Structure 1
């Protein structure tokens, strides 16, 4: 078995295309919300982000949606084996079908580490294609549904490469959504950012921008990274 051990839960990732990775744990650690009651994690994979949010937000009920059946079942088992099992629910569906089947429900936080290769060559592995590759229409649909199912004060938070972040920012005005925050993820202080955690919602607040540095030097994590993940990773 391929088990990733966190401080308060374990993640079985056997057979899953997308293993526990830096993008996922950063989003789980850095996502912000004001005592959310309802969260949906789109493309949950093994369920790691949903588990991290369940640890952080003790009143939230979390729906975790996954298009790959094996991954959805793995997430369900990971939830069942955690202390947060009463608040975590795995759904094998596309996010569109999931939302359409839950008309009228609103979420305080919509979160996703979505497929990150935009309009690029796909791999020979079907599971990796599902987990990693998409096109621009995916994000148009995601933002359209976000506008419908987000509470008035809620936020959607995504971790994406810079070209994808640019596309999303261009799509927001069409759906009366506003960019609120950008966290620029850098490997080192003097390197260019390679990911952004973008936060948007229905409230127009102005845009807060800040960097986040992962390493001080090769294989030496920054104090910022250690602080963000100290409650989760057993190496800290």
Structure 2
């Protein structure tokens, strides 16, 4: 533990990801990753030869999960909040993965910056879900920035993905089902063809509250629906599918 202390601040903690010894630095009382990041990393089809970019990366949870699960050639993370990027970079050093996993501070609306990157086989994104239209929101609130479309919206995310992807590269996104029409419309507008959809339900009999979408840059029109995933069983416990995704079985 003494060796770890050089990587963390007083208000931070090191969380064991329960995946190949990987750890993540997070705020003790701040925004922490949840099931969304785990579901997205499981849904993404990443190969060992791939180069991956994770947009809205936060403290870097998705890049670390992707690297631990699939061992891609490299994973980059782009995040606008400087404090989160700093934590992500320190997590990379803590895990001795500074060459394989790299983080960059920047605005995904900055087209010039995006074009400076190489092209990627895969782009993943867990974007802000909530429309920025429900009253006044503190634009300096880190949690609000992560949850509301304050600094970027869905169209900005799709445009950035189009720029970053190789020809026929794949976009993997997690969002809310009520935004599915917007997602499909914007993907097609920027020539990222929706290819696969997976609905996540809290439990059997409940409407889905999460959707996973795969798109292909300049792909042909063909949409596949995966079997739905249920998070909890009738006893309020995680289903076997969720336990499997969390590497418990």
TM-score, normalised via structure 1 length: 0.88
Aligned length: 232
Q: Does 1:30 align with 2:46?
A: no
Q: How far apart, CA to CA, are the structure 2 residues paired with 1:133 and 1:155?
A: 25
Q: Show structure 1 runs of 4+ deviating over 4 A.
A: 122-125
Structure number with greater Rg is: 2
Q: Which residue of 2 is the match for residue 204 of structure 1?
A: 220
CA drift of 1:95 comes to: 1.8
In structure 1, the gaps of 5 or more residues are: none
Q: Which residue of 1 is the match for residue 200 of structure 2?
A: 185
Which shows bigger deviation, 149-158 or 64-73? 149-158
Q: How far apart, CA to CA, are the structure 1 residues paired with 2:108 and 2:238?
A: 35
Q: 1:34 to 1:205 in 2, by over 3 A?
A: farther
SS in 2 for 1:216: coil
Q: 1:76 to 1:135 in 2, by over 3 A?
A: closer
Q: How does 1:1-236 map to 2 (within 5 A)?
A: 1-7=12-18, 8-14=21-27, 17-97=30-110, 100=113, 102-103=115-116, 105-121=118-134, 123-124=137-138, 126-134=141-149, 138-202=153-217, 203-204=219-220, 206-210=222-226, 211-230=228-247
Point out which structure has higher relative CO (alpha carbons under 8 A, 6+ apart): 1
- CA RMSD across the alignment: 2.3
In structure 2, the gaps of 5 or more residues are: 1-11
Check the 8 A contact 1:25/1:49 in 2, yes or no.
yes
Which shows bigger deviation, 119-128 or 20-29? 119-128
Q: 1:83 to 1:223 in 2, by over 3 A?
A: farther
Check the 8 A contact 1:180/1:200 in 2, yes or no.
yes
CA drift of 1:47 comes to: 0.7
CA drift of 1:154 comes to: 1.3
